[in-house]
Amino acid sequence: MTRILFVCTGNVHRSVLAERLLAARLPPGSSLRPESAGTEAWHRSPMEDATSAVLKELGGDGSGFVSRPLTAQLVASAALVLGLAREHREAAVRLAPWAMRRCFTLREFMRLADEGGGGVGGFQALVAAAAARRGTAAPVPPDEDNVPDPWGRPRHELCECAREIDGRVSRLARLWVMSEGGASSVGDKTV
């Protein structure tokens, strides 16, 4: 079982969308296990109702979800940690500095993985190659690595956020399938 941990602030919008949408985009029987946590999450809070509705519209399943705080153990046990903003990646690295080469923002990882041309050599090789490219890639403005937080924003902004996350995790699911030597039938939906 390979774990990917998505991190946001409250673990009720962005990270849970990423977790549950990736789960919906993976082929049946996949050994990739998406999870999520929040830097300021309350333990066992439910998903926001609006987020649950948008998730369902995109084909995700929100049943049984409860939030949880980010811990060093969660970071250490994940093969890949993807913050939804730079502050989330930094929080993960502060908790488990030895995991730094496995910690990215979602946008950063997808940019670096796309530059590398796919998941040849397995998933760990894909993560290692993205980490190696991080030091040589042209820098981007800080906001370019952040998925905007929909907290307290109008529903259309939550939908935009969800669509962006869905597009990125759909690509991540395809990379996973390629790295594991399979063919992808990952689909995209719109809200």
Number of DSSP helices (H) and strands (E) in the chain, helices first: 7, 4
Cα separation, 21 vs 167, in Å, equals 9
- E strand segments, 67-138: 80-83, 103-105
- Give me 181's structure tokens: 């030597």
**Could you tell me which of 158, 10, 184, 26 has the C-alpha nearest to residue 91?**
10
Rounded Cα distance between 33 and 60, Å, is 15
pTM above 0.85, yes or no: yes
In order along its 191 residues, the chain shows pLDDT tens digits of 999 999 999 999 999 999 999 999 999 999 999 999 999 998 888 898 999 999 999 999 999 999 999 999 999 999 999 999 999 999 999 999 999 999 999 999 999 998 766 556 789 999 999 999 998 888 899 899 999 999 999 999 999 999 999 999 999 999 999 887 654 444 444 34
Tokens encoding 56: 């369902």
